[in-house]
Structure 1
Amino acid sequence: MLGAGNYSSAVEMVSALFLENCAVVHKPHPLNKATDLIWEKVFEPLVEYQALSFCDPDSGTSLTTDKRVSKIYFTGGASTAKKIAENTDIPIVSECGGNNPFFIVPPDRDWTADEIHHQSMVIATMIKFNGGAVCGRPQTFVTSKHWKQRREFLDALKNALVNETPATPSYYPNSTKVFEEFKNAYPDAEVLQCVEDKDNRKSDILFIEDIAQDSYAVTHEAFTLVVDEVALDVPATIKEYLPIAVKFANKKLLGTLTCCIIIDDDTLKNNKALVDASITFLQYGAIGVNTMPPFMFLNPYLTWGGNEEGKDIVSGHGNFGNLLNYQNVEKSISFSDFTSAGHMKSVNTDAWFKLSKNYAEYTANPKFVNLVPMAMSLMKNNIKKKNF
Structure 2
Amino acid sequence: MKTLDTARLDGLVEELRQGERTWARLSLGDRLDLLAATSATLQEHAQEWVEIACGIKGLPTDSPLVGEEWISGPYAVLSSIGALSETLEALRAGRSPLDGFRLSAAPGDRAAVRVLPHGIFDRLLLNGFTAEVWSRPGVSAEHFADAAGLAQRDPAKTGGVGVVLGAGNIFSIAPLDTLYELFAGNRVVLLKLNPITDPLLPVFEKVFAPLIDLGLVRIVTGGADVGAAAVDHPGIGHVHITGSVKSHDAIVFGPGEDRRTVRLDKPITSELGGVSPTIVVPGRWSARDLAYQAEHVVTQKLHNNGYNCVASQVLVLSSCWEQKDAFLAALRKAYAAARKRTPYYPGSDTRCEAALAEHPDAERWEDRLLLDVPADGDAAFTEEYFGPVLAVTQLPGDPRQFLDRAVDFANEKLAGTLGANIVLHPRTKRRLGSSFTDAITRLRYGTIAINAWTGVGYLTARASWGAFPGHPLTDVQSGIGVVHNALLLDHVERTVVHGPFRPFPRSIATGQLAISPRPPWFVTNRTARVTGRRLAAFAGRPGWSKLPGIFASALRG
The TM-score with structure 2 as length reference comes to 0.63
2:476 matches 1:303: no
| Paired position in structure 1 for 2:537 | 361
CA deviations 1:16-55 (Å, max 9, x no partner) are 1233321111110000012122111011111111111111
| Paired position in structure 2 for 1:276 | 437
CA deviations 1:315-335 (Å, max 9, x no partner) are 111111111111111111101
1:170 maps to a residue whose letter is P
Contact 2:314-2:390 within 8 A present in 1 as well: yes
Cα distance in 2 between the residues matched to 1:83 and 1:293: 28
Equivalent position to 1:91, from 267, 287, 290: 267
Cα distance in 1 between the residues matched to 2:456 and 2:547: 17
Cα drift, residue 57 of structure 1: 2.3
Which structure is larger by alpha-carbon Rg, 1 or 2? 2
Cα distance in 2 between the residues matched to 1:246 and 1:40: 44
Contact 2:302-2:523 within 8 A present in 1 as well: no
2:123 matches 1:123: no
Q: Give the 3 Å change call, closer, same or farther, for CA 93–339 of structure 1 in structure 2.
A: same
1:89 maps to a residue whose letter is D
Equivalent position to 2:239, from 72, 94, 103: 72
| Paired position in structure 2 for 1:315 | 478
Equivalent position to 1:159, from 333, 337, 343: 333
| Paired position in structure 2 for 1:347 | 524
2:202 matches 1:40: no
Find the residue that maps to 1:57 and give its secondary structure: coil
1:93 maps to a residue whose letter is T
| Paired position in structure 2 for 1:62 | 229
What 5-or-longer segments of structure 2 have no aligned partner?
1-163, 254-262, 505-515
2:453 maps to a residue whose letter is M
CA deviations 1:108-162 (Å, max 9, x no partner) are xx10001111111122223221111011111101111111101110110110111
Cα distance in 2 between the residues matched to 1:71 and 1:364: 30
Contact 2:471-2:479 within 8 A present in 1 as well: no
2:188 matches 1:23: yes
2:178 matches 1:13: yes
- Number of aligned positions between the proteins: 365
| Paired position in structure 2 for 1:172 | 345
Cα drift, residue 369 of structure 1: 3.5
| Paired position in structure 2 for 1:196 | none
2:321 maps to a residue whose letter is W
Cα distance in 1 between the residues matched to 2:362 and 2:471: 37
2:286 maps to a residue whose letter is T
Alignment of 1:185-264 (within 5 A): 185-192=358-365, 201=366, 204-232=367-395, 234-235=396-397, 237-264=398-425
Cα distance in 1 between the residues matched to 2:300 and 2:408: 25
2:463 matches 1:331: no
Contact 1:129-1:168 within 8 A present in 2 as well: no
1:347 maps to a residue whose letter is T
1:116 maps to a residue whose letter is L
Cα distance in 2 between the residues matched to 1:372 and 1:66: 51
4+ residue runs over 6 A deviation: none
Q: Give the 3 Å change call, closer, same or farther, for CA 20–308 of structure 1 in structure 2.
A: closer
The TM-score with structure 1 as length reference comes to 0.90
Cα distance in 1 between the residues matched to 2:165 and 2:552: 37
| Paired position in structure 2 for 1:377 | 553
Cα distance in 2 between the residues matched to 1:72 and 1:270: 46
Cα drift, residue 359 of structure 1: 2.4
2:334 maps to a residue whose letter is A
| Paired position in structure 1 for 2:287 | 113
| Paired position in structure 2 for 1:386 | none
CA deviations 1:210-262 (Å, max 9, x no partner) are 43431111111111010011101x22x22111111100110101111100010
| Paired position in structure 2 for 1:384 | none
2:177 maps to a residue whose letter is E
Q: Give the 3 Å change call, closer, same or farther, for CA 272–154 of structure 1 in structure 2.
A: same
| Paired position in structure 2 for 1:197 | none
Equivalent position to 1:150, from 315, 321, 324: 324
Cα drift, residue 282 of structure 1: 0.5
Cα distance in 2 between the residues matched to 1:18 and 1:212: 43
Cα drift, residue 209 of structure 1: 1.9
Cα distance in 2 between the residues matched to 1:169 and 1:138: 19
2:221 maps to a residue whose letter is D
- The root-mean-square deviation of aligned C-alpha atoms, in Å, is 1.6
Q: Which has the higher contact order (CA 8 A, sep 6+)?
A: 2
Contact 1:128-1:167 within 8 A present in 2 as well: no
* Percent of matched pairs sharing the same residue: 28
Find the residue that maps to 2:402 and give its secondary structure: helix
Q: Give the 3 Å change call, closer, same or farther, for CA 74–290 of structure 1 in structure 2.
A: same
CA deviations 1:157-191 (Å, max 9, x no partner) are 1101112x322232211111110111111111111
Contact 2:276-2:418 within 8 A present in 1 as well: yes
1:379 maps to a residue whose letter is L
Contact 1:306-1:319 within 8 A present in 2 as well: yes
Find the residue that maps to 2:556 and give its secondary structure: helix
Find the residue that maps to 1:331 and give its secondary structure: strand
Cα distance in 2 between the residues matched to 1:327 and 1:292: 24
Q: Give the 3 Å change call, closer, same or farther, for CA 147–118 of structure 1 in structure 2.
A: same
Query: Which moved further from structure 2: 148-157 or 334-343?
Result: 334-343
Q: Give the 3 Å change call, closer, same or farther, for CA 161–20 of structure 1 in structure 2.
A: same
Cα distance in 2 between the residues matched to 1:54 and 1:71: 16
Contact 1:132-1:225 within 8 A present in 2 as well: yes
Cα distance in 1 between the residues matched to 2:416 and 2:303: 20
